[in-house]
A and B are shown apart, each in its own frame.
Chain A
């Protein structure tokens, strides 16, 4: 067996989800190659070559891959895929964007967001917003898979893979990049943070999120939000934790003023330790919390920030 893993990166650095995806590949077993498609992405290749378990790092460095356009990336990946038994990508918005195009081009099914490897052709994946777990088996000649990063540990980085450059420039000519507005923050990203503090509708307004930021600064945490808070306009959508937002599994998740709707629980219930702070003792969030504090968040959160 040979496995091609598609790296997630921003041309400057490798994203952590790649490491979890390599672990899934290693669990499947066989030879693991990593593809980096981008522009001026040498630094990413250097970083990727250190990932343990990776045999070769293949680099397709060209302007047509600069912005990860699905039409262009999927042509490249489906061309390379014929030499592999499995193609894996992290289930990020990027992986979700181009991988189904790869699968369709190869005339195979895709297995989305696996959380466990049972064997080389059998995988577990959540369905119905994580309310059921399906075990699926694939008989396709190439298995096209996206990997939910929270289901796998990160691969360690003490390897030394060889770096090979590919002379490819597959341009579908169907789409072009206009602009990107990325949130600027010194805090860790939600999907890679060890600690997350999230606010819900109970925060009352967007400026109250600064209370959470004070705790986050003390703990080196990321700040998240429930869908209710996002819908109410208290927080931008890229902060949303939940089935329709980001799926996270940090060591510590602090839910503040969050009632605990199923859709929110689906995004954070795999966290190691869950803390809930809510003045409503009936809130369903307490049923999944390891430690619950029934208190007014406007008293408890500043006190928490001061006591850390």
Chain B
């Protein structure tokens, strides 16, 4: 079975984001970029499936600028076999990404597609589900455990209030939650090996996909800052303030 993993290049999760002074967006100039953390978990899960003999090939795809090749190489250093970059300098919305991924799915015919549940930049949490609808596939979102059998996959999902387990017909879409696994670090020999793994470059036009979006971002602002309050000296002072000043208990 082939496993397709989609990865996104995003701002490194350790970086504090700054809104541009003209409020047109977030300042990404000279900022460290990395693979989206949830996508790393997706790559790790695919590689583990290959190590268990469930998957025979792991293909990693990214949609983004030319430099997103770095994240594809990272995924290949973690164990993916080959890469596909759908190159575009336009920032695309989830729907356009899902349409492009649908075309990649048509070509590659994977048994499983694994994606991060959301990217830490747009926080949309949409692409996997949209791909599921467009490709007519079942979905197991927010996965914390997956067990693949011959024609189906059992997925345990993190839902509000607990866990839910579903059985999905293959091919299926999985989106990863944090507890699915702990991604490994790439070793230096594997980083070197990844440089020689095949990486195909395509464009949205190659797939005949219209990437125009119905959404327009008008403005990006900093959130309202909370200011620090007061330090209290004792528990009794705290209780007194909560009762009489804040009136919340």
Contact = CB atoms under 8 A, between A and B. Distances in A.
Interface of A: 67, 69-71, 74, 92-94, 96-105, 107-113, 122, 126-140, 172-183, 189, 191, 195, 219, 227, 237-238, 243-244, 246, 251-252, 262, 269, 272-275, 281, 286-295, 300, 303-304, 307-308
B148 interface: no
Contacts of A179: 164-165
Interface string B139-152: 11110100000000
16 contacts: A96-B129, A100-B125, A109-B93, A140-B214, A175-B139, A176-B166, A177-B167, A178-B165, A182-B161, A219-B249, A227-B178, A262-B16, A269-B226, A281-B231, A291-B238, A303-B235
Contacts of B154: 178
Contacts, number: 247
A103 B126 contact: yes
Contact of A238 (B17, B121, B162): B162
Contact of A127 (B121, B162, B242): B121
Q: Which of A96, A137, A274 has the most CB of B within 10 A?
A: A96
B61 interface: no
Interface stretch (B62-70, B191-199, B200-208, B216-224): B216-224
Interface stretch (B72-80, B82-90, B130-138): B130-138
A284 B223 CA distance: 17
A113 B94 CA distance: 14
**Which DSSP category, helix, strand, loop or mixed, fits chain B's interface?**
mixed
B109 interface: no
A69 B235 contact: no
A67 B159 CA distance: 12
A134 B122 CA distance: 9
Contacts of A238: 158-163
Nearest to B231: A292
A134 to B, nearest CB: 5
Given A191-B160, A275-B242, A100 B129 contact: yes
A112 B166 contact: no
Contact of B129 (A98, A129, A219): A98
Contact of A293 (B122, B138, B231): B231
Interface of B: 11, 16-17, 19, 26, 93-95, 98, 120-134, 136-142, 144, 154, 157-169, 177-179, 213-223, 226, 228-232, 234-236, 238-239, 241-242, 246, 248-249
Contacts of B95: 103-104, 107-110
Given A92-B160, A101-B130, A137-B216, A251 B238 contact: no
Given A293-B232, A304-B235, A104 B129 contact: yes
A136 B235 contact: no
Contacts of A175: 138-140, 166-169
A113 B160 CA distance: 16
B161 A189 contact: yes
A112 B123 contact: yes
